[in-house]
Structure 1
Amino acid sequence: MQIVKGTFQYAASTEHCAAQLHLTEQGQVLLYAEHDNTLLLDSSKESYQVAEVLPGLPAELLFDSGAVFSPADPQWRWPKSRRQNLTLQLETSKSLIVLSVIAVPILLWWLTTVGLPKAATALVPWIPLAVEESIGQQSMQMFDRTLLSESELSPQLQQSIRQQWQSALEQLQLSSGYRYQLHFRASKRLGANAFALPGGYLTITDELVKRLETQPDAILAVLLHEVGHVEHRHGMKLAAQATASTIVMSVLFSDLEGVTEAVLGTGTSLVQSAFSRDMERQADYFSTQSLLKLNKSPQAFAEAMQALTKDQPKEELMPWLEYLNSHPNTKERIEKATQQAQP
C-alpha cells in the first residue's frame, strides 16, 4: 500500500482539507482527513481517473463524484500511468524539445511549399464546374460593385477584340467545358490589367486595351494567358490552398490570439505568392503555345509584356526578395516568349 499526502477538494464545493490517500495494490483508493483520520472517500479504480499532467504541477486524481485529490508533492506520479509518464517524458526531454524546434519549421516549410500545393491540386479536379462557375459569377459581381465600372471603349473596338478572341477559342477547340465570357471594364485602381475568375469569367480593362490598341495580337496573347489560368483551374487551386494553409496555421497556433492573426495573414500571403509564380509561368506557356497553334508568333506575348511594363519602375528585386513577388520576373517572361518565337 502507498500513502500519499495532499489536499482533498469536496465535490461541488470550495471546501477542502488536508488528507492522506491510501492506494492499495488492487487500485482501491481510501482517503482520510489528516486532522482526525476520518474516512472521506472509498473508491475503486473504476471510479476515478488521473488528470492530464503538466510538468511542475501535481498529478490530480479526478473522482466520478466530482471530488479531486491533489498530491502535495508536484513530482509525484501515479503508478501504472503510462500516458502520464509518456507526457512527462515528452515535455521534459531536452533532446525532444530541441528536435521539435528544428522539426516544426521544416514541417511548416514542407507544408507551404510542397504539401499544400499538391493537396490543392489533388482536390480541385473533384470540384464540379458548376460550383466553379458560381464562384466566378459571384466574384465578378463583387468586383463590379467595388473596383470596376462600365467600359468607355467604342462598341466597334470591343466587337473587334471579341471576334478575334472567339475565333481563337474556336480554333483551339478547348475541351474543358468552360463557357468563356469576356468583359470590358474601366478601372482607375487596377489600371492596365486583365484577370480571370473561376468558371471562365475574363476581364480586360480599358487602360490595357488602349495601351495595346495597335497590337491586336498582343491583346489576344494577354487574353490567352488568362484563359490558361482558367484551363488549369488556378483560381480554385489557389482558393483551396489558401483554405488549407489557414486551417493548418489555426491548428498549430490556436492558443496564440494576436500572434495567430499575424502568422495567418503573413503565412497565407507567402504561400499564395509562391504558388502564383508557378501559375503565371504555366499561363504564359499556355498563351505562347496557343499563339503557335493559331499560326501567330509568341513574340506577341513578349510585346504585350514590354508595353505593360513600359512606364513601370525597373524590376530590381534582390534574389532573396524574389520569394515575395507573386509574378515571375518580367525580363524572364519576355525572354522565354522570344525564345519560343524563334524558328
Structure 2
Amino acid sequence: MITVKGKLQQAASTEHCAALLHLTEQGLVQLYAEQDNSLLMEVAADQYQMAEVLPGLPAELLFNTGAVFSPDDSNWRWPKGGRQNVTLKLETNKSLIVLSVIAVPILIWWLTAVGLPKAATAMVPFIPVAVEESIGKQSMQVFDRTLLSDSELSPQLQQSIRSQWQQAVEQLQLNSGYQYQLHFRSSKTLGANAFALPGGYLTITDELVRRLETKPDAILAVLLHEVGHVEHRHGMTLAAQATASTIVMSVLFSDLEGITEAVLGTGTSLVQSAFSRDMERQADYFSTKALVKLNKSPHAFVEAMLALTKGQPKEQLSPWLEYLSSHPDTKERIEKARQQAQP
C-alpha cells in the first residue's frame, strides 16, 4: 500500500482539506481527513484517472465525481500512470528534445519555403477575378499614398500611349476576364519603372516614359511584360503565399490577431513583394510572344531593358521593388529577346 499526503478538493467547490490517500495494489483508493482520520471517500480503480503530468507540478488524481486530489510533493508520480508516464518520458527524453530542436526549425522552414507556396499557388486558380480586382484596387491606393504622385506627362502623350496600348490589348484578344487599367504616375522613389497589380492594374512612371518617349514599341513591350504578370496571376500568387505564411506563423506563435491582419493586409503586402526569377521569365516570354503576334519586333523589349537599366547600378535600385535583384540576369533577358527577334 502507498500513502500520499495532499489536499482534496470536492467537486463544484473551491474548498479543500488536508488528506491522506492510501492506494492499494489492486488500485483501490481510500481518502482520510488528516485532521481526524475520518474516511472521506473510497473509490475503485475504474472510478478515477491520473491527470496529465507537467514538469514541476504534482500529478493530480481526478475522480469521476469531479473531486481532485493534489499531492503535496510537486515531484510525486503515481506508480501506474499509463498515458501520463508516456508523456513524462517524452518530455524528459534528451534524444527527443535534441531531435525536436533540430526538426521543428526545419519543419517551419519547409512550410514557409516549400509547402505553403505550393499550396497557395494551387489555390490561386480558384480565386475569383473580382477578389483580385479588389486587392489590386487596395494596393493601388497604398501606392498612391506612399510612393506615387500625379503624372506630369502631357495629356497628348498619355493618350497616345494609351491608344496604342488599348489597340494592342484588343488585338491580343485576352480571355482572362481582366478589365485592364493603365495608370500614369510620377515617382522619385521608384524612378524609371513599371509594375502590375492583381486584377489588371498597370502603372508606368513618367521617368520610364521619358526614357522611351521616342520608342513607343518599347513602352508597349514594358506594358506587355506587366500584362504577363497579371495573366499568369503572379501578384495573386505572391499575396496568397504571404497570407498563408503569416497565418501559419501566427498560429505557431499564438498570435491569433496576426491572422486578421494578414487577411486585411493582403493587398498592401504586395507593395513590398518582388516577383521571382521564374515569374519574370514568364512575363518576358509573354511580352516577346505578344509583340510577334502584333507584328512587332521583340527587339523593342531589348530597347526597353537597356533603357530601364541605363545608369542604375544594382545597388542603387529601389528597395521597394528590388527590380534587378529579383529579376533574371539582364544580359540573359536581352539575349533571349534578341534570339526571338532574329528571322
TM-score w.r.t. length of structure 1: 0.80
Distance in structure 2 (CA, Å) of the matches to 1:285 and 1:25: 78
Q: For residue 72 of structure 1, what is the aligned residue in structure 2?
A: 73
Offset at residue 119 of structure 1 (A): 0.8
Corresponding pairs, count: 320
Query: Are the counterparts in 1 of residues 32 and 39 from structure 2 also a CA contact under 8 Å?
Result: yes
Q: Distance in 2 between matches of 1:248 and 1:110?
A: 12
Amino acid at match of 1:79: K
**1:177-196 pair list within 5 angstroms:** 177-196=177-196
Matches within 5 A, 1:265-304: 276-304=276-304
Q: Is it true that 1:10 corresponds to 2:9 in the alignment? A: yes
The answer as to 2:107 corresponding to 1:107 is: yes
SS of alignment partner, residue 153 of structure 2? coil
Preserved CA contact (<8 Å) 1:3 1:20: no
Which region of structure 1 is more displaced relative to structure 2, 95-104 or 174-183? 95-104
Task: Give the secondary structure class of the aligned counterpart of 1:72.
Answer: coil
Query: In 1, are the aligned partners of 2:2 and 2:24 still within 8 Å (CA)?
Result: no
Letter in 1 for 2:173: Q
2:131 aligned partner = 131
After superposition, residues 1-343 of structure 1 pair within 5 angstroms as 2-8=1-7, 10=9, 12-13=13-14, 17=18, 19-23=19-23, 29-34=29-34, 36-43=36-43, 48-63=48-63, 65=66, 67-70=68-71, 72=73, 74=75, 76-77=77-78, 79=80, 81-82=82-83, 84-254=84-254, 276-314=276-314, 325-343=325-343
Instruction: Note the residue ranges of structure 2 that are not aligned, 5 or more in a row.
Output: 256-268, 317-321
**Matched-pair contact (CA < 8 Å) for 1:113–1:274:** no
Question: For 1:336, what is the secondary structure of its paired residue?
Answer: helix
Change (3 A) 1:287 1:73: same
**Secondary structure in 2 matching 1:69:** strand
Q: Is the 8 A contact 1:315 1:329 kept in 2?
A: no
Pairwise CA RMSD: 3.1
Deviation at 1:161, TM superposition (A): 1.0
Give the 3 Å change call, closer, same or farther, for CA 237–24 of structure 1 in structure 2.
Answer: farther
Give the aligned residue type for 1:287.
S
Give deviations 1:53-109, integer Å, cap 9, x for gaps. Answer: 224543222455464413626251452522x23322322223322332332233233
Shift of 1:168: 1.6
Residues 296-329 of structure 1 deviation map (CA, whole Å, 9 limit, x = unaligned): 233322322221121212469xxxxx9x943333
SS in 1 for 2:189: coil
The letter of the residue matching 2:218 is A
Deviations 1:208-245 (A, max 9, x none): 11121122122111111111111111222111111111
**Identity across aligned pairs (percent)?**
76
CA-CA distance at 1:120 after TM superposition: 1.0
Tell me, yes or no, if the aligned pair for 2:117 and 2:241 is still in contact at 8 Å.
Answer: yes
The answer (yes or no) to whether the contact 1:136–1:200 under 8 Å persists in 2 is yes
Name which of structure 1's ranges 198-207 and 272-281 shifts more when overlaid on structure 2.
Answer: 272-281
In 2 relative to 1, CA 45–301 (structure 1 residues): closer, same or farther, beyond 3 Å? farther
Shift of 1:194: 1.3
Q: Which residue identity does 2:139 align to in structure 1?
A: S
Change over 3 Å in CA distance of 1:196–1:275 after alignment to 2: closer
The CA deviation at 1:339 is 3.5
Shift of residue 331, structure 1, vs aligned partner: 3.4
